[in-house]
Amino acid sequence: MIATVLWERELHQRGGASAFVVGPDCVVLHERHTRLVCLERADGAVRWDVPLGTWPRGIVLAGTACWCCRKRRT
C-alpha cells in the first residue's frame, strides 16, 4: 500500500509513546505529557487542546464525544 503524507505535526515527545485515535474528520492524541489535542484530519489544524495529565490508558471517540481513561496510579 502506498500512502501520501497530507500534513505533519511535531509531537514534542517520542512518536511511539503517544496514544491516539483517528475519527472521521479528526485525529485526537496525547502530547507534551499533559495535553489532549484534537487535530483536523484535512490539514492538521488544532480543533481543541485541553489539559489531561498523565498518559491515558485509552482514548475513544463516540459521535461528538471524546472519552479518555487515565492510567491508575499506584
- Tens of pLDDT, residues 42-67: 999 999 999 887 767 788 899 889 88
Does 46 reside within a domain? yes
Does 51 reside within a domain? yes
- Tell me which residue has cell 492538521: 44
Tell me whether residue 54 is exposed, middle or buried, using C-beta atoms within 10 angstroms of its C-beta: 0 to 12, 13 to 18, 19 or more. exposed
Q: What is the mean pLDDT of the chain?
A: 81
Does 31 reside within a domain? yes
Does 49 reside within a domain? yes
Domain count, the chain: 1
Dihedral angle over CA of 25, 31, 36, 42, nearest 10: -10
Cell of 5: 503524507
Does 33 reside within a domain? yes
For 48, the domain range is 21-70
The mean pLDDT of 26-54, rounded to a whole number, is: 87
Does 3 reside within a domain? no
pLDDT surpassing 90 at residue 15: no
The mean pLDDT of 26-45, rounded to a whole number, is: 88
Does 14 reside within a domain? no
Does 36 reside within a domain? yes
pLDDT surpassing 60 at residue 17: no
Task: Indicate the DSSP class of residue 33.
Answer: T
Its pTM stands at 0.76
